[in-house]
Chain A
């Protein structure tokens, strides 16, 4: 795993009287323990990975509290896990990245929410929306609305987040409904503090197991005919119970004066952005002393109609600040107002955009439009600020004269996936373009320069499935790429089994790097077992063969020439059917985390260690940078040329190089150029090493080479023969 959570694990043991300092997502983990959960599970993904990561390392604590931990193979498995709370009075929580994870979990979620729960069930989703998001832009709210799940969207500060976790379980139990809590990226990473409470043990748990299975009760099954009963139960009993709980426990909050002729209704998660802009307008301050009545929805589904009507009554207008589309909340508020026959004017998506993140500037523009319509001259301050921001940007733009180049993320230094894309690019140069079905994972970075390849991305582990109809309708075989994370998450069944079943003629490259690296280097079933790891060494090759894949080749990912040949063989093979190439190379981040300290220790102990890295000979390099166009490695960069005859910058390998070997492989595979050299540094050489080196040096000197340091002066150049 990427990070060590020793300090955080200590914090998870804090009790009443202690102050917890930490990130939002850690506060959630702590709140789960304070809520007495019996089981926790989920699937990793930014920004909620750490919730599980810390628990994976906290084995002792889990044992003490009797918590069962499951690192699920995908979000559907995590959602299905909540079934324990259908029949048994145990609390459970699962987590994943939304919207994608919720999509994968949708089937289980529908069935879970229909049956309902008796033990509190909480789903913590990372709402990956706006700046920094890595997935399609949709809202989790849609799932809450359609499946009758309650959705918490707490104000992004630790005490509120923690309270919402604790109240979330109570709400779930009071209404027999699973509860979701969404946290945006910045809220997951927000560092703050809250007053801790003691951790609670669940009555029934891994430590105190339930002795008898639940008695057979058809009503607990999501199966007709009780599904019709459950549907009605959602409407007639669970929804009113939830609304009563939300109201009675004041889960939603009021800020600002009790009365006023205009008001604002805001998602809890958007409150701080709103407050910042109100402060800019002179209508609030850093302590949230708002001068406009504001209703904060820490629960965005369901709304409590009485709260809305009570807030809106007597106001000329309200503004709904609801990020993203569709405008679920605004529409529902409109309906509530209409049914209550209130003529408060409703604003929202008329002044704020339907699409895109509500950044300070975006909110300021909408807020200003709203304020000015109701004669509040504070809008002028917002307008002035927005104008100044625009003028500033334009002035900087003019001073820059050209747009700044983007800096998309790329493969890490020494990444084992980069060489495979180098091989694919070389093959493309040789045989022309190929349809590439891309996937989710680090390898999606190959869609950026210098590789710029991939024709579609259809979801995690979906690449092969997304190439099915392409393979049936195109002259050339399509090529699908997938990580081992995607393979175990979904690709095995959706892609491989489906492809074999249908005899599709495709090529699949599986990156076997040993982890789900993009989410923070978590173990997958095929990871090797390790001290703190959860890997079980499941074998991808034999799994493929047992599914009936006949053409399987495993190639070391750094062997660019072999990879190119194997790719070509797969594309040209006369036999029909799926051909799989397993690109074998461990995630370099994980590897370096292990190898670096081990090598440093060995060197310090005086053991012989050979360190390798690459080097570009600046005199041989001609400054064309073809090597960079086949690599893009962060450690392969450029630097000024010292040669007055060749002023263009030369390629240069910096000291971050981990000696993965790609540079050499590429310069061979592409017959690129002879500028590359591998440097081998023998640290703590043995007597034999020293003897051999000395012998070589002597022989070389005999032939007049490698003048010993200090370097002999260079002979003066002959006089040029003048013109004329």
Chain B
């Protein structure tokens, strides 16, 4: 027991609303009563009582005739057990002092529930979970951190029951395991499941858990386009730096599935313009190969139909939907191509005339919402029809425009390479700004265009001090990812030119 006759054992539970933290605190309190101890618990249930962070605090003392005066607030540095259901919230509690190396047993779940700030980033806004776990370990006396969600799933119980078992097994609280079991039974809800979870938690505390790698929300989905096992490496590829080869392979496969061998040849030819040049090392070529493949496999309606026909999808969906054997699983696709997306399937000249006509008549906002049931014959047929346009693709306006865009980008890379390889790397990375569909796609192209015109071109023309080139492009790209409205990008460019001197301000 961590507490003494005169000092209570203090337990702080940090959970998210709706996770059952209150039930967990209730079980512990009930078990303490069963064990003849004096217990007090209280909580800050959070505003929403659903999704916000919540905390529950308990103090436990040996039962006597005297009534103790227990605290309602945890005191930093004075917490014996910290239970955390999520790594970020656990780290938050650690920072507030509710876990300290001299005292605290930390029972944590290796699990992330991303905040809105992390999720809504235009790229990867996630915190490093390894760092969070490291904090939890570094600043606690003893850390029991495991993938307890998997333990819960395996046991059929809930996470809070597993945590109760882990607490019971930790020996940090002077409550016998049977008292916990009795509390769970007295709760009267899902008793069997919860007892199974409790036993699994107990076993986790006893045996520890296999040190699994951080599972982020579920295992990555198998992709029909992930690299196959041991792809053959043709001899001539060995001219490229070996570290670029896997990416070139992946890119080639993507484009073969996307279009045809000739298209793969075009890919290789484009890469060949850069391979072996001064400043083009493996990392450079690998990143160029990646972004070039992504841009060449642009997402037109044909491509989307291709993807939606992939047979592996149905298996993934079945697995994820937790469908039981015998259930019928249907997949209803949400597609809503606009006139641009449809008309751009026409040959360039015709498409441009049609688009102009639509524009004149104010019909550009028009679109066709389609709910296509890919798992039923009618829906399948429609997708199949769209996907079969693959051979037609090189004649479309979209194709022509994309190739033009790619050539402009490659030419910028090419010219940057002559001046400063570091800057060329950043120009390569700029292609990452272009992604998505509809408004997202337009925004990305606009940002790319802005940076190309206002930084890259002037720099290539010698208007920017050479030492600033790479950093300027990098900063602009990061700014473009800050807000969808492009405010940060505008400010960054203004600031750059203001620092360089007004006389060098490039023309818009």
Interface residues of A (CB under 8 A from B): 21, 46-47, 131-132, 134, 156-157, 159, 185-187, 189-193, 271-273, 275-277, 280, 284-288, 359-361, 385, 388-389, 392-393, 395-397, 399-401, 404-412, 442, 445, 448-450, 518, 520, 589, 613, 615, 617-620, 622-626, 628-629, 632, 634, 636-649, 652, 654-655, 663-664, 667-668, 670-674, 676-685, 689-690, 692-693, 695-696, 699-700, 703, 705-707, 709, 711-712, 714, 716-724
In the bound complex, what is the Cα–Cα distance between A470 and B69 (angstroms)? 52
Residues of chain A lying within 8 A (CB to CB) of residue B251 = 645
7 closest residue pairs by CB, A with B: A409-B48, A723-B272, A409-B52, A720-B252, A722-B236, A288-B69, A132-B44
Contact in complex: A409, B436 (CB < 8 Å): no
B328 in contact with A392 (CB, 8 Å): no
Bound complex: CA of A86 vs CA of B313, how far in Å? Answer: 72
Check A618/B309 contact, CB under 8 A, given A399-B138, A671-B438, A703-B380: no
A643 touches B225 (CB 8 A): yes
Residues of A with C-beta under 8 A to B224: 619, 714
Whether the Cβ atoms of A674 and B437 lie closer than 8 Å is yes
Whether the pair A276, B75 counts as a contact (CB closer than 8 A) is yes
Query: B336 on the interface (CB 8 Å rule)?
Result: yes
Q: Is B445 an interface residue (CB 8 A)?
A: no
Q: Is the CB of B312 within 8 A of A668?
A: no
Question: B491 at the A/B interface (Cβ < 8 Å)?
Answer: no
Bound-state CA distance A46–B179 (Å) is: 32
Shortest Cβ distance from B369 into A: residue? A668
Return chain B residues, CB-CB under 8 Å to A442: 48
Q: Across the interface, do B438 and A679 meet the contact criterion of CB distance under 8 Å?
A: no
Query: Which residues of chain A are within 8 angstroms of B240 by Cβ–Cβ distance?
Result: 723
Q: Is the CB of B335 within 8 A of A674?
A: yes
- B324 partner residues in chain A, CB cutoff 8 A: 683
Instruction: Kindly identify, within residues 124 to 152 of chain B, every residue whose CB is under 8 Å from any CB belonging to chain A.
Output: 124, 126-127, 131, 134-135, 138-139
- A639 & B217 in contact (Cβ 8 Å cutoff): yes
CB of B330 within 8 A of CB of A397, answer no
- Number of residues on chain B facing chain A (CB within 8 A): 156
B193: min CB distance to chain A, Å: 13
Beyond A409-B46, A639-B218, A643-B226, whether A679 also contacts B120 by CB under 8 A is no
Write out the residue numbers on chain B whose beta carbons fall within 8 Å of the beta carbon of A361: 75-76
Given contacts A619-B224, A634-B51, A637-B119, 18 further A-B contacts (CB under 8 A): A21-B33, A190-B40, A190-B42, A286-B6, A389-B76, A410-B52, A619-B307, A634-B50, A645-B251, A649-B124, A673-B436, A677-B317, A678-B334, A681-B328, A703-B380, A706-B380, A711-B312, A723-B275
CB of B96 closer than 8 Å to a CB of A: yes
Which residue of the partner chain, among B61, B264, B377, contacts A721 with CB atoms under 8 Å? B264
Shortest A559–chain B CB gap in Å is: 12
Most A CB atoms within 10 A — which of B6, B8, B42?
B42
The residue in chain A whose Cβ has the minimal distance to the Cβ of B273 is A723
Beta-carbon contacts under 8 Å, B184-242 to A: 216-218, 220-228, 231-232, 234-237, 239-240
- B61, B91, B217: the one contacting A654 at CB < 8 Å is B217
Residues of A within 8 A of B475 (CB): none
Is B95's CB within 8 Å of the partner chain A? Answer: yes
Would A648 and B124 count as touching, CB distance under 8 A? yes
What chain A residues lie within 8 Å of B138 (beta carbons)? 399
Which residues of A have CB within 8 Å of B6? 285-287
- A-B pairs with beta carbons under 8 Å apart, 7 shown: A412-B51, A689-B328, A696-B377, A699-B380, A700-B380, A705-B309, A718-B261
Evaluate contact between A396 and B94: CB separation under 8 angstroms.
yes
| In the bound complex, CA of A412 to CA of B50 (Å) | 6
Evaluate contact between A272 and B69: CB separation under 8 angstroms.
Answer: yes
Residues of A within 8 A of B332 (CB): 677-680
Contact of B139 among A280, A392, A632, A648 (CB under 8 A): A392
Please determine whether A681 and B440 come into contact, CB atoms closer than 8 angstroms.
no
Contacts of B307 in A (CB 8 A): 617, 619-620
Bound-state Cα–Cα, A276 to B40, Å: 14
B78, B139, B330, B334: which contacts A668 (Cβ < 8 A)? Answer: B334
Chain B 415-447 interface residues, beta-carbon cutoff 8 Å to A: 435-440, 444
Q: Which of B110-118, B160-168, B499-507 contacts A (4 or more CB under 8 A)?
A: B110-118
- In the assembled complex, the CB of A252 is this many whole angstroms from the nearest CB of chain B, namely 16
The 8 Å CB contact of A286, one of B61, B216, B239, is B61
B-chain residues with CB within 8 Å of residue A450 when the two chains form the complex: 116, 120
Asked if A287 meets B52 with Cβ closer than 8 Å, knowing A389-B77, A624-B440, A638-B126, the reply is no
Shortest distance between the CB of B299 and any CB in chain A (Å) = 7
The interface residues of chain B lying within 8 Å CB-to-CB of A685 are 326-328
CB proximity to A under 8 Å, residues B53-67: 53, 61, 66-67
Instruction: From B29, B33, B97, name the one whose CB has the most chain A CB atoms within 10 angstroms.
Output: B97
In residues 70-129 of chain B, which contact A (Cβ within 8 Å)? Answer: 70-78, 88-89, 91-92, 94-97, 100, 113-124, 126-127
**Least Cβ–Cβ distance between A418 and chain B, in angstroms:** 12
Asked whether A406 lies within 8 Å of B115 as measured between CB atoms, the reply is yes
Q: A637 vs B121: C-alpha distance in the bound complex, in angstroms?
A: 11
- Known A-B contacts A132-B45, A700-B380; A405 and B310 likewise in contact (beta carbons under 8 Å): no
* A723→B239 contact, CB < 8 A: yes
**CB within 8 A of A719: which of B39, B232, B267, B438?**
B232
Q: Does B268 contact A (CB under 8 A)?
A: yes
- Pairwise interchain contact B221-A46, C-beta atoms closer than 8 A: no
Q: Is B7 an interface residue (CB 8 A)?
A: yes
A678 to B375, CA, bound (A): 11
Whole-angstrom CA separation of A395 from B99 in the bound complex: 13
Q: Which residues of B contact A404 (CB under 8 A)?
A: 88, 91-92, 95, 127
B299: chain A residues at CB < 8 Å are: 620, 622
Which chain A residues border B360 with CB–CB below 8 Å?
none
Contact assessment for A682 and B139 in the assembled complex, using a CB-CB cutoff below 8 Å: no
- Closest A residue to B95 by beta carbon equals A396
- Cα distance, A408 to B53, chains bound together (Å): 7
CB of B488 within 8 A of chain A? no
Is B20 in the interface zone, CB < 8 Å from A? Answer: no
Q: How far is the CA of A681 from the CA of B328 in the complex (A)?
A: 6
Contact B69 A649 (CB under 8 A): no
Answer yes or no: B320 CB below 8 A from chain A CBs.
Answer: yes
Does B487 lie at the interface of the complex (its beta carbon under 8 Å from any beta carbon of A)? no
A714 touches B228 (CB 8 A): yes
A134 to B121, CA, bound (A): 27
**A654 adjacent to B96 (CB under 8 Å):** no
Q: Given A271-B69, A625-B119, A643-B223, A410 and B437 touching (CB < 8 A)?
A: no
- Cα(A695)–Cα(B380), bound, Å: 13
**Is there contact, CB below 8 Å, between A400 and B42?**
no
